[in-house]
Amino acid sequence: MLMYPYNLVAVGEQAMNLVFPEKIDVAENQTIQRIAKDLRTDPTFALLDAIPAYHTLTLYFDTQRISEAQFRSKLTVYLHNYTDAVAVTQERVLELPVCYTPEFGPDLKDVAAFAGLSIPQLIQMHTQNSYFIYMMGFLPGFAYMGFVPDQIAMPRLNRPRAEIPAGSVGIAGKQTGMYPVASPAGWRIIGRTPLKLYDPHAPLPKYQPGDRIQFKAINRQEYERIKTVDQAGKYHLNIKKTKEA
């Protein structure tokens, strides 16, 4: 059985929310990702979509093929029989280049001052760990990731900026993320990636919930070189796989 308590909440006529304890936790979110993967590959659930979030999984089903009562019953049986003793799986870690400069990171100096660090120390701290992608949202391709070290977990801006450039990388408390398109932003922007993170003609992002992102610091010259290669469609993210129980 599941190691977490849960509730099933109907959302309209053709969707149901699987709700776990309200917290941001890698193990809990990995369980959500596994359930989503299982249900997507089982045609008897008649799924139209499965949308994982921090502590919920929203399941959309085809009411022409399965009723709400049937769906709830099947899901209840599945969850009753679910086991967390899953086989060892591989977790992808994608290396994302970022140029950390005041030009690209208007909040770089403020975050360093908040943390009591030099800018090189801040960059080293932000790039030393990989960040788990809990969910996608807000913008196409926007990944909510965590956790940054407490020392650099600076709160959001009191007044969001009206627009920041695509590729901007920021911190908001314990979370970090990158903006795939130009948009308003209340996060503390500390750098920018030269990669095009969202393409409306090929909208599926290169990263997905359950992946990890490892930021790699690059200089201004490398930024321009990678941007040119990426625009030509010839840049490939460095991807490594780690085994997770």
pLDDT at residue 87, rounded to an integer? 45
Work out the pLDDT band at 151, boundaries 50, 70, 90.
very high
pLDDT at residue 90, rounded to an integer? 65
32 burial level (CB within 10 Å; 0-12, 13-18, 19+): buried
- Residue 114 CA to residue 125 CA, distance in Å, equals 13
DSSP state of 150: G
Could you tell me what percent of the chain has a pLDDT over 70?
Answer: 95
Mean local confidence (pLDDT), 182-197: 97
Tokens, residue 200:
């409306």
Residue 167 has pLDDT above 60, yes or no: yes
176 burial level (CB within 10 Å; 0-12, 13-18, 19+): buried
Residue 218 has pLDDT above 70, yes or no: yes
Give the mean pLDDT of the chain. Answer: 92
pLDDT at residue 89, rounded to an integer? 57
pLDDT at residue 84, rounded to an integer? 67
**Any idea what the Cα angle at residue 227 is, between residues 223 and 231, rounded to 5°?**
175
pLDDT at residue 204, rounded to an integer? 85
pLDDT at residue 245, rounded to an integer? 40
Work out the pLDDT band at 158, boundaries 50, 70, 90.
very high
Residue 161 has pLDDT above 90, yes or no: yes
* pTM, rounded to two decimals: 0.87
- pLDDT tens digits, 49-99: 999 999 999 999 999 999 999 999 999 999 999 886 554 456 899 999 999
Mean local confidence (pLDDT), 131-152: 93
pLDDT at residue 168, rounded to an integer? 98
Residue 199 has pLDDT above 70, yes or no: yes
pLDDT at residue 91, rounded to an integer? 80
More confident residue, 86 or 23: 23
> Which residues in 95-117 are b (16+ Cβ under 10 Å) and which e?
ebbbbbbeebbebbeebbebbeb
Are the C-beta atoms of 105 and 193 separated by less than 8 Å?
no
